[in-house]
Chains A and B, each alone.
Chain A
Amino acid sequence: NAGVMQNPRHLVRRRGQEARLRCSPMKGHSHVYWYRQLPEEGLKFMVYLQKENIIDESGMPKERFSAEFPKEGPSILRIQQVVRGDSAAYFCASSPRGQGIRELFFGEGSRLTVL
């Protein structure tokens, strides 16, 4: 049973470009969470999604960031017109169901560097 798969593991973008980060949850998991880890800071919640629904995006910046979890395929975190401050590690986690979060299974993270 494959774990949570994130790709790319490393992504370099120039300012103004777009970054797309993908997360395939564990088999049978329909709840996906995205977190951001800025250098020298703790993890911060960004968004919680179920299949085809955004449940809670209160941790996501209002501008330039969007997330989706389509019926088929991985969850996507999209950052438009990246700036240097977007450089961070982005982690995805999945859970079989919400309701106060059962054990979370994390991916290896995607490390975004903005030049």
Chain B
Amino acid sequence: KNEVEQSPQNLTAQEGEFITINCSYSVGISALHWLQQHPGGGIVSLFMLSSGKKKHGRLIATINIQEKHSSLHITASHPRDSAVYICAVNPGSEKLVFGKGTKLTVNP
């Protein structure tokens, strides 16, 4: 079993829909990251969380440390949000442990 599990693996939505991507982890962490990767492209850091909730534009990330769970929400989704979203945790060392990613496709 991976230390970081994401669900769903693939997600297709219609433009405008509210999107939730989940991340569960099994180790103690000092921080959790949400990353975005476009096809053939680089990786962009969206959020780094250690508690509570953060919001940036249409993106919201929450974390529940006790339940070892985080969610990434996208409101009013748009085709340009189509990408792979990756959850990564920092288990207290300098090494990040990554989930396998959720591939999001938003259709117009």
On A, residues with C-beta under 8 Å from B are 31, 33, 35, 41-45, 48, 55-56, 58-59, 91, 93, 98, 100-109
Contacts and interface: CB of A to CB of B under 8 A. Distances in A.
Contacts of A109: 41-43
Given A45-B97, A101-B96, A106-B43, 16 more contacts: A35-B96, A41-B100, A42-B99, A42-B101, A45-B96, A48-B95, A56-B94, A98-B94, A100-B90, A103-B45, A105-B45, A106-B35, A106-B44, A106-B45, A107-B42, A108-B41
Q: For chain B, give the interface size range.
A: 20 to 34
Which 10 residue pairs of A and B lie closest in terms of their CB atoms, listed nearest first?
A108-B42, A106-B43, A42-B100, A43-B98, A45-B95, A42-B98, A48-B94, A100-B30, A101-B90, A103-B48
Contacts of A102: 48
Contacts of B104: none
Interface of B: 30-31, 33, 35, 41-45, 48, 86, 88, 90, 92-101
A104 B44 CA distance: 9
Give the residue among A41, A42, A104 with the most B Cβ atoms within 10 A. A42
Contact of B98 (A44, A103, A105): A44
B21 to A, nearest CB: 14
